[in-house]
């Protein structure tokens, strides 16, 4: 029997299921189904919709030889379940910013140093802890019903095995996991004024290479899977993607240009950043994977390309002919507010526009504005001595030569790409395969690592340091 494992990515936009051969890691099938569209600042989805999308994906997958499964999921959210095992309300997602006031309050009350020491960063509105406080403040009757507090990917482990479980990467996004002990710390929840904390049940935090159990007979029958299926711990979608690219050792920096922008780098030490710029996430393998995230990425260039009635590649070609002057226009790209830095109520703005302003300058400013937003945050990596030796670009923006070239210019280092699509699902399938093969995840990640190809080298004379400095002056004014 050619054994097969499934990697599942339950993201904000959709569910993706990838079937991979246990023998050699080859991708056999891919299936996708959409999730309901959300419109921040209120961003909620019912977990039943995730489950139905997952089942829809399975209808297109040959399940005959499936023997392992693992799930990567959107992080931070809140799935609230009562003592009768019923979902209390639609899950609040990571990009729901209605708990912004709660975030501001608890950061001010306890101070940035307390939060950085405890959880590695500041509890912004994306974090589960702020959503719990929002629930208590705004829906007290629902809060009183609360029994189980779990995250989106934990919900799948709970459905699969009957036991709520998670991994270090996902747990570190709650805002109440102690980064030094890998445990949930109820004292943090009590300290911010949450009531009846002792009655809460949290997901069990599983360490690397552990199993969450097996699919229950009930679920196997519901999904029409004939064999016993072992379940991996799963992970947050960013560390899940890191597995697909082989990014598990110090020296790699992965930047993704998707709806949001992310950048992460494996690191042996935990990071505790009082500014909140770096999210000191735990890796789903051993160690950590410090991450920065911006809200405004490829959707910014999509917007301006649409306004000029151009495709993204045409818009990129236009940008590459824009001025390289040190005084060229700058775009602060916060079309939806921003989380890094934390400016939820700010909006995008152009700077240094004069009567020579052209379509080419607009296009270049759009691409560079997105990149500057990420690179500005990445400057904090230097303070923690996080090594960067190789730069890999992913996400939809990695298909744009303009993003890749401008990034090489700004970072002043070569940019690499890999032919990996659906990275979170592809990567997390490795976790399931490692369990089936009884091998450490780290070993299998290295065996199945894709070819990393050089795409762009930095150009001279682009004045990117000067323009980045001007960008930083504007956003910090």
Tens digit of pLDDT for each residue in 86-111? Answer: 999 999 999 898 999 999 999 999 99
Answer whether residue 181 shows pLDDT above 90. Answer: no
Q: Dihedral of the CA atoms 105, 111, 113, 115 (nearest 10)?
A: -30
Phi first, then psi, for residue 172 (nearest 5°) are -70, -5
Question: Does 323 reside within a domain?
Answer: no
Question: Does 92 reside within a domain?
Answer: yes
What is residue 39's predicted lDDT score, i.e. its pLDDT? 85
Average pLDDT over the chain reads 95
C-alpha distances out from residue 82 to 1, 127, 171, 233, Å: 42, 21, 20, 23
Number of domains in the chain: 1
What is residue 188's predicted lDDT score, i.e. its pLDDT? 97
Full domain range(s) for residue 82 = 4-236
| Strand order across the beta sheet in which 452-456 lies | 291-294, 261-264, 251-257, 388-394, 415-418, 452-456
What is residue 182's predicted lDDT score, i.e. its pLDDT? 87
* Angle between helix 298-307 and 359-383 (nearest 10): 170
- For the segment 52-75, the average pLDDT, to the nearest whole number, is 97
Question: Does 302 reside within a domain?
Answer: no
- Distance CA(125)–CA(134), nearest Å, equals 10
344: confidence class by pLDDT, cuts 50, 70, 90: confident
Question: Does 473 reside within a domain?
Answer: no
358-376 residues labelled b (16+ CB within 10 A) or e (exposed): eebbbbbbbbbbbbbbbbb
* Angle between helix 464-475 and 401-411 (nearest 10): 90
457: confidence class by pLDDT, cuts 50, 70, 90: very high
Q: List pLDDT tens digits, range 215-234.
A: 999 999 999 999 999 999 99
What is residue 339's predicted lDDT score, i.e. its pLDDT? 82
186-225 residues labelled b (16+ CB within 10 A) or e (exposed): eebbebbebeebeeeebbbbbebbebbbbbeeebbeebeb
Answer whether residue 322 shows pLDDT above 90. Answer: yes
Percent of the chain scoring above 70 in pLDDT = 100
C-alpha distances out from residue 165 to 66, 70, 159, 419, Å: 21, 12, 10, 32
Residue 340's DSSP bridge partners are: none
What is residue 477's predicted lDDT score, i.e. its pLDDT? 84
- Distance CA(318)–CA(366), nearest Å, equals 11
- For the segment 423-434, the average pLDDT, to the nearest whole number, is 97
- For the segment 193-218, the average pLDDT, to the nearest whole number, is 97
- For the segment 199-224, the average pLDDT, to the nearest whole number, is 97
Question: Is there a contact between 78 and 91 (Cβ–Cβ < 8 Å)?
Answer: yes
Question: Is there a contact between 280 and 363 (Cβ–Cβ < 8 Å)?
Answer: no
Answer whether residue 259 shows pLDDT above 90. Answer: no
Question: Does 14 reside within a domain?
Answer: yes
What is residue 283's predicted lDDT score, i.e. its pLDDT? 93
What is residue 337's predicted lDDT score, i.e. its pLDDT? 86
Q: Which two tokens stand for residue 58?
A: 């399975």
179: confidence class by pLDDT, cuts 50, 70, 90: confident
Pairing type for strands 66-73 and 235-236 reads parallel
- Distance CA(118)–CA(120), nearest Å, equals 6
* Catalytic residue check, 167: no
Phi first, then psi, for residue 316 (nearest 5°) are -65, -45
Question: Does 73 reside within a domain?
Answer: yes
Answer whether residue 178 shows pLDDT above 90. Answer: no
Question: Is there a contact between 6 and 21 (Cβ–Cβ < 8 Å)?
Answer: no
Answer whether residue 1 shows pLDDT above 80. Answer: no
- For the segment 10-19, the average pLDDT, to the nearest whole number, is 95
Q: Residues, the chain, total? A: 477
Question: Is there a contact between 241 and 256 (Cβ–Cβ < 8 Å)?
Answer: yes
Question: Does 87 reside within a domain?
Answer: yes
Residue 231 belongs to domain with CATH number: 3.30.420.40
Establish how many alpha carbons lie within 13 A of residue 259's alpha carbon, considering only the half-sphere containing its beta carbon.
Answer: 7
Query: Among 77, 82, 87, which Cα is nearest to 38's?
Result: 77
Phi first, then psi, for residue 430 (nearest 5°) are -60, -40
- Distance CA(361)–CA(248), nearest Å, equals 38
Question: Does 82 reside within a domain?
Answer: yes
| Catalytically annotated residue among 9, 96, 237, 422 | 237
């Amino acid at each position: 029997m050619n054994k097969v494992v499934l990697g599942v990515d339950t993201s904000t936009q959709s569910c993706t299921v990838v079937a991979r051969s246990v023998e050699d890691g080859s991708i056999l099938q891919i299936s996708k189904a959409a999730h309901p569209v959300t419109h921040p600042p209120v961003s909620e989805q019912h977990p039943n919709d995730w489950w139905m999308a997952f089942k829809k994906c399975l209808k297109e997958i040959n399940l005959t030889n499936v023997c392992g499964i693992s799930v990567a999921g959107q992080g931070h959210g809140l799935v609230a379940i009562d003592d009768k095992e019923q979902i209390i309300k639609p899950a609040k997602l990571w990009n729901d910013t209605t708990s912004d006031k709660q975030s501001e309050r608890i950061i001010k009350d306890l101070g940035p140093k307390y939060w950085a020491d405890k959880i590695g960063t500041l509890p912004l509105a994306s974090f589960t802890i702020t959503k719990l406080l929002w629930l208590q403040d705004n829906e007290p009757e629902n809060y009183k019903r609360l029994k189980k507090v779990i995250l989106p990917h934990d919900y799948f482990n709970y459905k699969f095995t009957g036991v709520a479980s998670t991994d270090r990467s996902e747990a570190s996004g709650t805002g109440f996991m102690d980064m030094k002990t890998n445990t949930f710390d109820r004292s943090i929840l009590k300290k911010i004024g949450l009531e009846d904390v002792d009655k809460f049940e949290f997901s069990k935090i599983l360490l690397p290479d552990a199993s969450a159990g097996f699919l229950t007979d009930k679920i196997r029958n519901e999904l029409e899977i004939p064999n016993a299926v072992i379940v991996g711990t799963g992970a947050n979608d960013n560390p899940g993607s890191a597995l697909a690219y082989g990014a598990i050792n110090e020296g790699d920096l992965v930047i993704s240009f998707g709806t949001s922008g992310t950048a992460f780098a494996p690191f042996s030490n935990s990071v505790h950043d009082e500014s909140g710029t770096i999210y000191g996430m735990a890796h789903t393998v051993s160690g950590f994977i410090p991450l920065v995230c911006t809200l405004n990425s490829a959707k910014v260039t999509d917007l301006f390309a649409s306004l000029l009635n151009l495709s993204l590649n045409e818009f990129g070609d236009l940008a590459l002919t824009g001025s390289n002057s040190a005084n060229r226009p700058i775009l602060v790209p916060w079309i939806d507010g921003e989380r890094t830095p934390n400016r939820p109520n700010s909006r995008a703005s152009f700077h240094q526009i004069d009567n020579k302003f052209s379509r080419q300058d607009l296009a270049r400013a759009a691409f560079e504005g997105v990149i500057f937003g990420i690179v500005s945050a990445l400057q904090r990596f230097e303070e923690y001595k996080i090594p960067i030796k190789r730069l890999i670009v992913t996400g939809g923006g990695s298909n744009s030569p303009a993003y890749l070239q401008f990034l090489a210019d700004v970072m002043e280092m070569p940019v690499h790409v890999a032919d990996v699509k659906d990275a979170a699902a592809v990567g997390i399938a490795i976790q399931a395969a490692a369990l089936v093969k009884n091998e450490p995840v780290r070993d299998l990640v290295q065996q199945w690592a894709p070819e990393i190809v050089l795409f762009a080298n930095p150009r001279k004379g682009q004045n990117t340091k000067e323009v980045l400095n001007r960008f930083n002056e504007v956003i910090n004014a």
